[in-house]
Amino acid sequence: MIDALDLYVRVCHGDSLVMAGLVALIGQEPGFHVQPGNAPDQGVADVVVADHASALGLLASAAAMDQRGAARGFRVPRVVVLTRRDNEGEVMQAIASGVHGYLRQDANPDELMNAIRHVARGGSLYLCKRTKTLLGHGRPRTGFTAREEDVLRFLVKGDCNKGIARKLNISANTVKAHVSRICEKLHVGSRAQVAIKATQRGLVRV
Amino acid sequence: MTAPTQARQIHVRVAHRDPYVAAGIASLLRSRADFVVQSGLPDAAADGDDEAVDVLVTDYATGVHRATNVPSGRGRSTPKSFLVVTDQSTGWQIRRAMDAGVRGYLLHDCSVEELSDAVRSVAEGRRYLSCPVADQLLENISAAVPTARELDVLHRMAEGLPNKDIGRRLGIGEGTVKTHVKAILRKLGQPTRTAAIGEAFRRGLLPETSP
């Protein structure tokens, strides 16, 4: 059980300005103890606030440690992501990796403090309003098959169907069929639009 | 009111849309003895005896807007030197800010030393660009610039229109569109139109629209 009065928060953020800002803002909050640190196993913190990349790195190394030393009562950290960029692909990736909260940097500091408390209490996944809207648009999640993802990756780079076919060792007609399915799933009419939409929504890693 | 110290103190105002960046800048600058830091935009207080501000540290949009519309006169309390801290890092965005009169330009991942150097330089009336910013700017200057008409075509390309429809929209022949497209591909150094659109976004030639 965590005492409502004492909460240990670790901050790791790639931008030193944001890092300093988080330390200052979290430090002002009554009962919050804040500590900056980018090393994965620095002290025990109830909640870690991190940028997208640090969060994923932290969870990956924690998962590896958990497998090795589960007996020593190792605790996987509860991580809240605070990020400037939030495309669909990145949010999904973060949730799949096991983050406990995801906030955009335009969420005001009060909301961040509430999210930290919520996550420390063991609450369910916390998403800020913008991120909720992003995921819940009412549109079904765009699920691509593995093969469609292969095609999409080359399409975004600007390869033609024939070129994609050669690289994936399938026929140009098969590529064509995949491209039409991709267009349908993204509700667009041309490959240029596919490339733009897929890049902006972070559905491909370029 | 402030006691005279050995070095002249620099009055800085921090007004950044990102609350975390704002808090970070303010706290880092406050830790240095030679800065006097105030937070928030000056017109929020609207008091005339507001202390003189040497530098306004701000976000991209506010910086460009304020630098373009510097009110004339109105005492020394209105800052006239702007330092932008942003993640808008394409050459075109940097150029736009410089053209508007922004004197300092840093990216969010800059170091504490860069931040204080930048504030000092701008306060002394010099310009300050961090290395990655200067790199982008130089690359932009040396890059081939698409003509206004080519940009029209590029925008339509990014909407996913085929040459025929682009021609119809712009009231020119399909052959002319083709020539423009060829020039765009050459200037962006890309082999295909999809690749060219991607490159145009990276360079900031096309506005990022929310999907």
pLDDT digit string, tens, across residues B187-198 = 999 998 889 998
Within 8 A of A36 by CB-CB distance, chain B residues are: none
pLDDT given for residue A72 in this prediction: 58
Which range has the worst mean pLDDT, A39-48, A81-90, B25-34, B50-59?
A39-48
Interface probe, candidates B164, B194, B210, chain A, greatest A C-beta count within 10 A = B194
pLDDT given for residue B89 in this prediction: 85
Cβ contact, residue pair A24, B27, below 8 Å: yes
Q: Phi/psi at B81 (nearest 5 deg)?
A: -115, 130
The answer, for A36 touching chain B at a CB cutoff of 8 Å, is no
Return the C-alpha torsion angle B126, B127, B130, B135, nearest 10. Answer: -130
Interface probe, candidates A11, A17, A23, chain B, greatest B C-beta count within 10 A = A17
State yes or no: pLDDT of B127 exceeds 90: yes
Q: What is the pLDDT of residues A104-144, one digit of tens each?
A: 888 889 999 999 999 988 888 888 887 877 776 545 566 78
- Shortest Cα distance, chain A CAs vs residue B75, angstroms: 31
- Shortest Cα distance, chain B CAs vs residue A131, angstroms: 13
Cβ contact, residue pair A84, B87, below 8 Å: yes
Interface probe, candidates B14, B20, B155, chain A, greatest A C-beta count within 10 A = B20
pLDDT given for residue A73 in this prediction: 57
pLDDT given for residue B210 in this prediction: 43
Within 8 A of A25 by CB-CB distance, chain B residues are: 19-20, 23
* pTM for this entry: 0.75
State yes or no: pLDDT of B51 exceeds 80: no
Angle between helices B148-158 and B163-170 (to 10 degrees): 130
Residue A196 to residue A32: CA distance in whole angstroms:
43
Could you write out the DSSP letters of every residue in A114-165? HHHHHHHTT-S-EE-HHHHHHHHSSSPP-PPPHHHHHHHHHHHHT--HHHHH
Task: Kindly state the tokens that stand for A85.
Answer: 């960029």
pLDDT given for residue B1 in this prediction: 47
pLDDT given for residue A46 in this prediction: 86
- Shortest Cα distance, chain B CAs vs residue A100, angstroms: 20
Q: What is the pLDDT of residues B64-117, one digit of tens each?
A: 998 888 766 555 555 678 999 998 888 888 998 999 999 999 998 898 899 999
The answer, for A190 touching chain B at a CB cutoff of 8 Å, is yes
Task: Identify each DSSP E strand in A42-100 by its residue range.
Answer: 47-50, 78-83
Query: Contacts from B139-143 at CB under 8 Å and sequence distance 24+?
Result: B139/B91, B140/B90, B140/B91, B140/B92, B140/B94, B140/B95, B140/B203, B141/B91, B143/B91, B143/B187, B143/B203
B191: nearest CB among A18, A24, A158: A158
Pairing status of strand B55-58 against strand B10-15: parallel
Within 8 A of A197 by CB-CB distance, chain B residues are: 211
| Range 44-103 of A in CB contact (< 8 A) with B | 82, 84
Within 8 A of A190 by CB-CB distance, chain B residues are: 160-162
Which range has the worst mean pLDDT, A92-96, A178-182, B121-125, B147-151?
A92-96
The answer, for A201 touching chain B at a CB cutoff of 8 Å, is yes
Which range has the worst mean pLDDT, B115-119, B127-131, B142-146, B205-209?
B205-209
State yes or no: pLDDT of B28 exceeds 60: yes
| Range 80-109 of B in CB contact (< 8 A) with A | 85, 87, 108-109
How many A-B residue pairs are in contact by the CB < 8 A criterion?
114
A111: nearest CA partner in chain B: B19
Tens of pLDDT, residue by residue, chain A (206 residues): 444 568 889 999 988 899 999 999 999 998 898 888 765 555 678 899 999 988 988 888 887 777 766 555 566 788 999 988 777 888 888 888 889 999 988 888 999 999 999 998 888 888 888 787 777 654 556 678 889 989 999 998 888 999 999 999 999 999 999 999 999 988 888 888 888 888 878 787 65
- Shortest Cα distance, chain B CAs vs residue A70, angstroms: 36
